[in-house]
Structure 1
Amino acid sequence: MVELEFQQKTKTLIDSLKSICANYGLGNDGNEFKIITQIFLYKFLNDKFAFEAKKLDDTIAKADKWEEALVAMSEDDLDMLQLQMGGDTARLKPQHFISYLFSQQNAPDFAKLFDDTLIDIAITNNDVFAVKTDSGEKTKLFDRVSEFITDTSKRDNFCKAIINKLVEFSFERIFTQKFDFYATIFEYLIKDYNINSGGKYAEYFTPHAVARIMAEILVPQDQRGTVRNVSCYDPSAGSGTLLMNVAHAIGENRCSIYTQDISQKSSNLLRLNLILNNLVHSIPNVIQGNTVLHPYHKDGKELKRFDYIVSNPPFKLNFSDFRDELDSNENKERFFAGIPTVPKKEKDKMKIYTLFLQHIITSLKSTGKAAVVVPTGFITANTGIDNKILKHLVTNKMLAGVVSMPSNIFATTGTNVSILFIDASNDGDVVLVDASNLGEKVKDGKNQKTVLTADEEQKIINVFNAKETIEDLSVAVSYDEIEAKNYSLSAGQYFDVKIEYVDITPEQFAEKMHVITSNLDNLFNQSRDLETEIKKQLAGLKYE
C-alpha cells in the first residue's frame, strides 16, 4: 500500500511541476525537462537528508519539526552528523532545506534566493555529484531554474509556485522501497523527454523487457549474491535503463558503474537515475563525450576492461566528419574488423553500431560478459565488417548466444532487433532463440509496439540459461555448426526441417495422381493456346 500511495503522490508532484511550467509559458519548451528533473532531484535530496538524519539522531527523529532540531545543533555536531551519513546523501545546510525556502517565499527577490540555494547545494556537493566531460570539465548538479523565465517580473511567483508544491508531502517513507519502485518513477518522470526527436544523437528509451532479459541472462538467479566487486560499462548509456537493471541484479553495493554518452541531456538523466538507485558512488565515472572518437575509460594508454558491458548503441549515424580520425594505428586493435567507408549518398545510414560493437568486444575482460542490442540483419550478414565481427566472435569462442526479438519491440523504430550475448570464456554450445513470434501488439501514442508478457520474458530467459532446444523457439549449436553456416546466428537456419507423412491407400494415391495429371494437362493446353495467340498477334503487326 505504501508503494502504491507514494507512486501516485510522486506522479502527482511531477504532473504539478509540468503544469506550473505550462502556466509560465514553458510547456514543451526545450528547458522544461531541466526544470522538472532538477526540482524533482532537489526534493529527493532534501527528503533523503531528513530520512538519514532521523536514523542517526533520536532527537531529530522525535522532534515535531526536524529542521528546527538541526538548526539548533552546534556546527561541530552538524558536521559529525553529516560525516556519519552515507555517500548517497547530499551534504545540506539548514538554509538549503525546502522548509526554509518555504518560510522565505514572500521575501524580496525570492527567485534569486531560490536559485542561489540550488547553486550552493551544487557547489557544496560538486566532488560527488558532478558529471565530467571527456575533457575533464564538470557539469554541476543544478542550474538557475528561474532564469528560464524570460519575463523577470514573473520569476518570483514561478519559484513560489514550485516551493509550495514541494512541501505537500515527504518522500521519506519510500526510501525503504526497492529498484522496481524507482524504475517506474524514473520512467514516468522522463517519459516526455527521452524520445526520438529526430536529432543527430536521438536518445531511445530501451524497453524494460529488453533490459530485464539482458540482466537475467548476464546475471542468472543462481548467481545472485555471489557476484561482487565488479565493473559494469555502457559506452552509449543514454539514461541508464540497461545499467540499472544489471546493477540491481548484481547488487548496487557490489558493483561500480562506468558510462560514456555524447548527449548532455542523457548524462544528466543518468546521474539522476544513479542517485535514485543508490549508485551515487559511480557518478564520477559518468562521462559526457564521444566514445567512438575519444574513449575516456582507460588503464594507462590501454582501454579499461570490464566484467559486464551492456549497450543499445545507435544503429546508423553520419560520422563522416570524424571518420578519418578513427583510421589510425592506435585504433587498429579496437576496430579490428574495419571502419565503414563514407558512402556517396545517404551518409546518415553509416553503420556506427559496428564501431560500438568492436569497441565493446575490445573492452571486455577475458572472463567478461556483454549484451548488445543490434539490428537483426547483423546476425545473418555474410559479407563486410558485420561478417568479420561474427567470424571474430566464433573463431575466438566468445559467444553465449542471440535472442531475436519481436518486431516493433521499440515503438520509436521499425528496425527489427536482436540481443547479442557475448561471453569471452564460453567454449561450449551457443544458444539461439527466435522470439519473433511472441508478444502482442499495442498502441503507444501514434506508434504501435509489441509487448512481451511476464511469462514470455521468463520463457526466453529460462531456455537461454538452460541452453534448451525447443521446437521453433530455441536451439543450442556448436561453434563448428555456426562456421559451417558462414557464421549466421539466425535460429531458424538451425531448426530441423519437418516433413509430415500421411498414410493413404493405393486407390487414394491413384486418384490424387489422376487429379494432378489432369490439372497439368489442362495447364499445358492453356499454355499452347496462349503461345499460338501470341504468335498470331505478332504476325499481324505492321510497320507504319
Structure 2
Amino acid sequence: MESNNRASSLESALWSAADVLRGKMDASEYKNYLLGLIFYRFLSEKVLSTFGKWAGIDQDIEKTYQEYMDPNFQMSGVTIRDSALEYIKNSLGYSIEADALYSSLIEKIRMHKFALDDLAQALHDLENSTIGQRSAQDFAGLFADVDLTSNKLGSSLSQRNQVISDTMLALNNIDLTAHNGDVLGDAYEYLIAQFASDSGKKAGEFYTPRQVSDIIAQIVTYKRDSGDAQIRSIYDPAVGSGSLLLNVGQHVADPSLVSYHGQELNTTTFNLARMNLMLHGVSYEDMHLNNGDTLSKDWPTDEPYLFDAVVMNPPYSAQWNNSDSRLADPRFRDYGVLAPKSKADFAFLLHGFYHLQEKGTMGIVLPHGVLFRGAAEGKIRQKLLEDNRIDAIIGLPANIFHSTGIPTLIMVLKKHKTTDDVLFIDASRDFEKDKNQNRLAEANINKIVDAYKNRQDVDKYAHVASMDEIKSNDYNLNIPRYVDTFEAEPEIDLEQVKNELADIDKEISENLVDFQSLEAQLVKTNIDATATKQGIK
C-alpha cells in the first residue's frame, strides 16, 4: 500500500509539471523539457552525494559544498575546491558548480532572481566540464533539445522565464527521500510511457512497453542470469529510449557487470536513451551508444562487436536502401538475397543476429508478415530454419504497443540450439483491457515465459514443431498452422431437442385449453342497451 501511495505521489508531481507545458506544445515536444530538467536535477543530486562521500559527511552536504566551492575558502591554509572538483569529475565524468546546482537555481526562482540565462549557462558549463574526460562523448549535445529560446514557451523572454521557472518548481516537488534510490529513474520511465501513450505513433516508436520488455528480458537471460554464465554485454540496434536494454540488465544477478550498447537514428531519442541509462545508475564507462543509421552503416565494428544478448524492437516494415552492393555486406551475404526495399524487418533481424555471440540469445519484436511473406523474405526465413537458428515464435495480443494496433510477435533466435525444432506460442488472446489499449498482466507474462522454459505442447496455446512439420508447410511459420485455437461448438443432441419441442407443443396445447375455458366464463356486456338505459344518445 505504501509503495502504491508513493508511486501515486510521484506521478501526481510529474503530471503537475506537465500541466505547465501542456497546451503550449505537443507531448512529443514538451517531454524534452521535462525529461531534460529531471535529468539535470539527477546530475545535481549525484554531485552532492559524491561530494558528501569525498568529504566524509552525510548532513548539511549542500551547505558544505557551497562553502568548499568558494575560491577563497581554505582548510589549514589550503584551498580545497580544486581537489573536490577533481574527485567529482573522476567519479562522475562531469562536475557542477555550487551556484549552478538544481537546488541553487530553485532558490533563485523563489527569490525572483532567476533568469533563463542562468539555466542555459549551467547546461553549457556541465557539458564543458566533461572536456578531456572519457565521458565527453556521452554528454555531448545531451541537452540540445531543451530549447530555452523557443517561442512555444512564450512570445516574450519574461513569459519563457516564467514557464521554465514553474516547471522547475513543479519538478522540485518530487520528494526523493520518500522513494527508493531510483525515484528519478522511475519518474523517467513513467513519463516516457505517458508521452508514448499521449502522442500516439510518433512518440510510441521510441518506447517498448515494459510487459513486452520483461518477456524478452526473461527469455534472453534464461540460464544466463548468474555466476560465470551471467550476461555481460547487451546490444540493441534500435535502442529508442533504452528501456529494453535496462530491463535485460535488471534480470541478471549483478547488473554492475553489464555493458550496454545501442544505436539510434533519431538524435532526440538518442539523447533520451543516454539520459535514461544514466538515470538508472549505468556508469558512462558501461554505456556505449551511437547516433546513427543501423542499416546504412554497421555499428559497432570494433571489439566487442559480438554480444551475449541482442534485443530489438525496430520500426515495422520500414524503408531501407537495399541496393545490390549490400549483398557483399557480411551481415547479409550468407543469405543470397536482401530484405525488400519497403520492408526492412529481416534486414534489422540479420543485423542483430550478426552481432550475437555464439552462445547468446536474441529477442526481436516483428510484425506477423515475416512469418509467411514469400520472395526474398521467404528465402531468408528458409535459410534461418535450415541452419536451425529460429528458436521460438511468440504471438502477442493486438493493440499493446503505443505506436501500432496491429498484432506483433517476439522471435527468439540462437546460433547454437540444443533442439532441432521451433516452439510456437499463441498468447494473442491472453490480455487485460486497459482504457484504449490491451495490457499483458503478470499472469499472462508468466504463462508465456513458463511455456518457453518448459518447451512442451500446451493445448490451444503452445506447440513444438519439428523441422519435418515446418518443411511440410513450405517453411511458412504462420502461428495458426501450428497452434490450433479453434473452439468447437458443442454437439447438439437432436433426440433431446425433439423431446423438448414435443414438451413445448404439449404445454402450448394445455395453455390454449385453459385460455378457452376462461374465455367462455367471461360475461358479454350489451353496450348499446346499457347506454339507452342511462339516457345516453
Report the TM range for the smaller structure's normalisation. 0.7 to 0.9
C-alpha displacement of 1:289: 1.2
Which whole-Å CA distance do the structure 2 matches of 1:203 and 1:413 have between them?
Answer: 9
Of residues 241, 263, 266, the one that matches 2:266 is: 263
Which whole-Å CA distance do the structure 2 matches of 1:498 and 1:4 have between them?
Answer: 40
Aligned to 1:459: 447
Of residues 232, 235, 256, the one that matches 2:234 is: 232
Contact 1:398-1:427 at 8 Å conserved across structures: no
Contact 2:223-2:229 at 8 Å conserved across structures: no
Query: What does 1:86-165 align with in structure 2 at a 5 Å threshold?
Result: 87=91, 90-105=94-109, 110-125=115-130, 127=133, 138-141=140-143, 145-148=147-150, 149=153, 150-165=155-170
Contact 2:108-2:114 at 8 Å conserved across structures: no
| Partner AA of 2:296 in structure 1 | L
| Match status 1:275 vs 2:297 | no
Gaps of at least 5 residues in structure 1 are 343-349, 512-544
Which whole-Å CA distance do the structure 2 matches of 1:48 and 1:9 have between them?
Answer: 23
Distance 1:335 1:170, change over 3 A: farther
Aligned to 1:533: none
Aligned to 2:17: 17
Which whole-Å CA distance do the structure 1 matches of 2:195 and 2:491 have between them?
Answer: 62
Distance 1:496 1:405, change over 3 A: closer
CA deviation vs aligned residue, 1:449-489 (integer Å, no higher than 9, x gap)? 32222112101101111212211111223334333332233
Contact 1:262-1:291 at 8 Å conserved across structures: yes
Aligned to 2:329: 330
Aligned to 2:294: 291
Contact 2:426-2:479 at 8 Å conserved across structures: yes
Aligned to 2:532: none
Q: Which range is displaced more, 411-420 or 149-158?
A: 149-158
C-alpha displacement of 1:51: 3.2
CA deviation vs aligned residue, 1:182-205 (integer Å, no higher than 9, x gap)? 665223222454366666x97253
C-alpha displacement of 1:341: 4.7
C-alpha displacement of 1:115: 1.2
| Partner AA of 1:367 in structure 2 | K
Query: What does 1:158-237 align with in structure 2 at a 5 Å threshold?
Result: 158-165=163-170, 167-168=172-173, 170-171=175-176, 174=179, 176-177=181-182, 184-194=186-196, 203-220=205-222, 223-228=225-230, 230-237=232-239
Contact 2:38-2:184 at 8 Å conserved across structures: no
Which whole-Å CA distance do the structure 2 matches of 1:40 and 1:187 have between them?
Answer: 12
Aligned to 1:306: 307
Which whole-Å CA distance do the structure 2 matches of 1:85 and 1:384 have between them?
Answer: 55
Contact 1:335-1:358 at 8 Å conserved across structures: no
Which whole-Å CA distance do the structure 1 matches of 2:474 and 2:30 have between them?
Answer: 51
Which whole-Å CA distance do the structure 2 matches of 1:337 and 1:256 have between them?
Answer: 33
Aligned to 1:386: 377
C-alpha displacement of 1:306: 1.7
Of residues 388, 395, 408, the one that matches 2:399 is: 408
Which whole-Å CA distance do the structure 2 matches of 1:6 and 1:373 have between them?
Answer: 33
Contact 1:239-1:270 at 8 Å conserved across structures: yes
CA deviation vs aligned residue, 1:472-509 (integer Å, no higher than 9, x gap)? 11122333433333223345434589999x9999x98x
C-alpha displacement of 1:371: 0.3
C-alpha displacement of 1:405: 1.1
Which whole-Å CA distance do the structure 1 matches of 2:159 and 2:453 have between them?
Answer: 58
C-alpha displacement of 1:212: 0.7
C-alpha displacement of 1:206: 1.7
| Partner AA of 1:421 in structure 2 | V
User: Rg: which structure is higher?
Assistant: 2
User: TM-score scaled by structure 1?
Assistant: 0.77
| Partner AA of 2:465 in structure 1 | V
C-alpha displacement of 1:223: 3.4
Which whole-Å CA distance do the structure 2 matches of 1:483 and 1:69 have between them?
Answer: 75
Report the 3-state secondary structure (helix = DSSP H, G, I; strand = E; otherwise coil) of the residue aligned with 1:327.
helix
Aligned to 2:502: none
| Match status 1:352 vs 2:344 | yes
Contact 2:48-2:61 at 8 Å conserved across structures: no
CA deviation vs aligned residue, 1:247-276 (integer Å, no higher than 9, x gap)? 111243121111111111211111121012
Distance 1:130 1:58, change over 3 A: closer
Which whole-Å CA distance do the structure 1 matches of 2:162 and 2:491 have between them?
Answer: 85
Contact 1:358-1:389 at 8 Å conserved across structures: no
Which whole-Å CA distance do the structure 2 matches of 1:219 and 1:327 have between them?
Answer: 32
Contact 1:440-1:452 at 8 Å conserved across structures: yes
Which whole-Å CA distance do the structure 1 matches of 2:120 and 2:453 have between them?
Answer: 51
Query: What does 1:239-254 align with in structure 2 at a 5 Å threshold?
Result: 239-250=241-252, 251-254=254-257
User: TM-score scaled by structure 2?
Assistant: 0.77
Which whole-Å CA distance do the structure 1 matches of 2:62 and 2:142 have between them?
Answer: 34
Which whole-Å CA distance do the structure 1 matches of 2:164 and 2:16 have between them?
Answer: 13
| Partner AA of 1:43 in structure 2 | R
C-alpha displacement of 1:233: 0.8
Aligned to 1:49: 47
Report the 3-state secondary structure (helix = DSSP H, G, I; strand = E; otherwise coil) of the residue aligned with 1:18.
helix
Which whole-Å CA distance do the structure 1 matches of 2:87 and 2:36 have between them?
Answer: 25
| Match status 1:26 vs 2:28 | no
C-alpha displacement of 1:11: 2.7
Contact 1:434-1:473 at 8 Å conserved across structures: yes
Report the 3-state secondary structure (helix = DSSP H, G, I; strand = E; otherwise coil) of the residue aligned with 1:425.
coil
Q: How many residues align?
A: 483
Contact 2:331-2:354 at 8 Å conserved across structures: no
CA deviation vs aligned residue, 1:117-157 (integer Å, no higher than 9, x gap)? 1211122136565667xxxx943345664322442243443
Report the 3-state secondary structure (helix = DSSP H, G, I; strand = E; otherwise coil) of the residue aligned with 1:414.
coil
Which whole-Å CA distance do the structure 2 matches of 1:280 and 1:204 have between them?
Answer: 22
Q: Which range is displaced more, 359-368 or 76-85?
A: 76-85
Distance 1:357 1:336, change over 3 A: same
C-alpha displacement of 1:244: 1.3
Using the aligned pairs only, state the percent identity: 21
| Partner AA of 1:21 in structure 2 | L
Report the 3-state secondary structure (helix = DSSP H, G, I; strand = E; otherwise coil) of the residue aligned with 2:388.
coil
Which whole-Å CA distance do the structure 2 matches of 1:504 and 1:171 have between them?
Answer: 65
Aligned to 1:39: 37
Report the 3-state secondary structure (helix = DSSP H, G, I; strand = E; otherwise coil) of the residue aligned with 1:147.
coil
Which whole-Å CA distance do the structure 1 matches of 2:145 and 2:484 have between them?
Answer: 60
Which whole-Å CA distance do the structure 2 matches of 1:32 and 1:499 have between them?
Answer: 48
CA deviation vs aligned residue, 1:355-399 (integer Å, no higher than 9, x gap)? 101211222222121001111232234x22222222222222222
CA deviation vs aligned residue, 1:264-318 (integer Å, no higher than 9, x gap)? 1211111121012111336752111111101221128xx9222111111111223
Contact 1:70-1:78 at 8 Å conserved across structures: no
Aligned to 1:364: 356
Which whole-Å CA distance do the structure 2 matches of 1:30 and 1:493 have between them?
Answer: 40
Which whole-Å CA distance do the structure 1 matches of 2:492 and 2:434 have between them?
Answer: 45
Of residues 67, 76, 83, the one that matches 1:79 is: 83
| Partner AA of 2:148 in structure 1 | S
Distance 1:310 1:3, change over 3 A: same
Report the 3-state secondary structure (helix = DSSP H, G, I; strand = E; otherwise coil) of the residue aligned with 1:223.
coil
Query: What does 1:425-464 align with in structure 2 at a 5 Å threshold?
Result: 425-428=416-419, 429-444=421-436, 449-464=437-452
Which whole-Å CA distance do the structure 2 matches of 1:497 and 1:112 have between them?
Answer: 63
Contact 1:311-1:372 at 8 Å conserved across structures: yes
Aligned Cα root-mean-square deviation (Å): 3.9
CA deviation vs aligned residue, 1:65-103 (integer Å, no higher than 9, x gap)? 454454477554663576378855752222222333244
Which whole-Å CA distance do the structure 1 matches of 2:181 and 2:149 have between them?
Answer: 35
Report the 3-state secondary structure (helix = DSSP H, G, I; strand = E; otherwise coil) of the residue aligned with 2:19.
helix
Gaps of at least 5 residues in structure 2 are 499-537
